[in-house]
Amino acid sequence: GKYFGHKIFNGAKLAPKISPKKTWAGFIIGFVATFITTTLMGLYLHSWESITFSETAGKTVHYSLAIWESVFMALVISFAAPLGDLLFSAIKRQHGVKDFSKLIPGHGGLFDRLDALAFVTFVTTMIYLTAI
């Protein structure tokens, strides 16, 4: 990200007032990496006959992913991850907090590593609940 950020994008910042170290290069590289990984995982899961999501009241819920659903979810997750990261950065800025914890000094803390994951989990859960 740093190499491409300086060479191709001239270090253009994504949201300098919210998170000054995030760049467009990092966003694009992260988006592409997430999209490829999520799409491949969706295609892999699609190769199974069905996926067991949950068991409630002795009833197992099975669902087969269509290829277009895998690609759609890959796009959603690829956008939701950096948006979640920026959202949590904005919340920290608003409250004057640099890190959510001090467990991993210099890296924003343990909980800061989960910003993107928390938002992706929320978004995918909302899509799943809407689809049911």
Phi, psi dihedrals of residue 100, rounded to the nearest 5°: -75, -20
In tens, the pLDDT along 65-106 reads 667 777 888 888 889 988 988 888 888 888 887 766 666 666
Q: Which residue has the higher pLDDT, 27 or 6?
A: 27
What type of residue sits at position 5?
G
Q: Is the full-model pTM beyond 0.75?
A: no
Question: How many angstroms separate the CA atoms of 100 and 92, rounded?
Answer: 8
Worst-scoring range by mean pLDDT, 17-31, 90-104, 110-124?
A: 90-104
Give the chain's mean pLDDT: 76
